[in-house]
Amino acid sequence: MTDYQIFEAGDVVLQRGATLRNCQLAYKTFGALNAAKDNAIVYPTWYSGQHTDNEWLIGEGRALDPKKYFIIVPNMLGNGLSSSPSNMPEPYNGPRFPQVTACDNVRLQHRLVTEVFGIKRLPLVTGWSMGALQTFHWGALYPDMVERIAPFCGSAKCSRHNFVFLEGVKAALTADAAWNEGWYQEKPARGLRAMARVYAGWGFSQAFYREELDIKKLGFSSLEDFLVVFWEGSFLLKDANNLLAMLWTWQNGDISDNELYKGDFKKALGAIKAKAYVMPAQTDLYFPPEDSQFEVAHMPDAEYIPFASIWGHSAGGPGTNPEDVKFLDGKLKELLSS
C-alpha cells in the first residue's frame, strides 16, 4: 500500500544524453480537478524530500486548500520514489544512474500534468529550495501555461557559492571508504553522518544557533542532541546514491541551460510571464537574498518578498517554524487572489 500514484512515462531521453527507460514519476494529489481543469497547483519536492515532506503547507483554510485546488506534488527524480539510483534496475542503477537536470524533471512533470490530467493552465507553481528551482523552471519553460509562481528559499540557477557548499557536502559523504564509489552493500553511515554535520551549519542561520532555537523552539536537549538526532538521523534514512544524484541536479540547475535560452540567464528570467512572488529568507546562508533580487530585477512581473526570519534556509520549510509558515501561507493567499 502506498499513498501515491506512479506516472509511467516510458523511455525518457534526458538533456545530458542518457535514456531513462520505463521512467517512473511518483506523485500525490490533494483535492479534485474541477471541470474547467483550471484549479491545479504544482508543488515539487525539495532536496532529499518526498511528497509527504511537502504536506505541511497543504490543508483546509490554507492557501493550498484541497477544497478549492487540485494540488499535485511530483517527486523529484532521484528522491527514492520516482526513478532513482536506489530503485532503477541494472544497468542504470546505483552510481550509474544518469545525470538528471531540473529541466528534465519539469518536462516530465509537464507530461504528467498535460497527458494524465489534460490541464492547460496552472494558477500556481510553488516550492521550497530545490522545489523553488523547479518552480522557476516551470515559469521559464512553460510561460504561457503558468499564471503564478512562488519560489521560496531557492534560486533559478545554482550560484557558485551554493555549488561550493554542495561540494563540501559531497566531499564529506564520499570521504567514507564504505561509500565505495557508490557500490556499497551497507550504507556508508559515517559519510552520511559527516554530510549531515556539514549541512547543519548551513541549514539554519548563525542567529538561529545564537538564540538556541534548536533547544528553545525545536525542543532538543542540547546542541549535540540536535546534531545527532535532527541532522544525522535525517540523513541516515537516505540512500547515498540518491543524495548524490539529486546533488548533481542541484549543482547543475539553471533555467537557461536548454535549447530555449542557450545559457542566457537574463533572457530566461525575462521570459517568465507568470506573476511571481520570489521569497528568499533574509538569513538564508546558501540562497542569499541578493540572488533573489537579481532574479526579480530581470523578471517582468515579479516581487521580492523576503522572510524576515532568523531560521535561515529553514524559514521556508519543511514547516518547522509556525510564524514563517503563517507568513508564507498569507503571501500565497495574496498571490492566488491576485
Residues in the chain: 338
181: left (phi over 0), alpha (psi -120 to 50) or beta: left
Tell me 220's DSSP state: -
State which residue, 111 or 266, has the beta carbon closest to a copy of itself: 266
Q: How far is the CA of 35 from the CAs of 40, 60, 118, 119, in angstroms?
A: 11, 21, 11, 10
State which residue, 5 or 206, has the beta carbon closest to a copy of itself: 206
Footprint on residues 155-174 left by a copy of itself (CB under 8 A): 159-161, 163-165, 167-174
Angle at 189 between CA 320 and CA 55, to 5 degrees: 25
CB of 223 to a copy of itself, least distance (A): 6
- Sequence-separated (6 or more) residues with CB below 8 Å from residue 138: 42, 106, 109, 110, 122, 125, 146, 149
State which residue, 232 or 239, has the beta carbon closest to a copy of itself: 232
**Residue holding cell 565505495?**
180
By CB under 8 A, how many residues form the interface with a copy of itself?
42
Tell whether residue 56 is a contact of a copy of itself (CB under 8 A). no
| Cell numbers describing residue 140 | 521559464
State which residue, 64 or 198, has the beta carbon closest to a copy of itself: 198
Q: How far is the CA of 213 from the CAs of 204, 222, 233, 309, 310, in angstroms?
A: 10, 10, 18, 12, 10
Annotated catalytic sites, by residue? Answer: 129, 284, 313
| Terminal CA-CA length for the chain | 39
Give the per-residue contact string, 167-206, with a copy of itself (x = CB under 8 A; - = no): xxxxxxxxxxxx-----------xx-xx--xxxxxx--xx
Between CA 129 and CA 154 the distance in angstroms is: 4
Give the per-residue contact string, 272-301, with a copy of itself (x = CB under 8 A; - = no): -------------xx-x-xx----------
Footprint on residues 210-239 left by a copy of itself (CB under 8 A): 210, 212, 223, 227
State which residue, 92 or 202, has the beta carbon closest to a copy of itself: 202
CB of 288 to a copy of itself, least distance (A): 5
Determine the residue type at 225. D
CB of 188 to a copy of itself, least distance (A): 8
Binding residues (CB under 8 A) for a copy of itself: these are 159-161, 163-165, 167-178, 190-191, 193-194, 197-202, 205-210, 212, 223, 227, 285-286, 288, 290-291
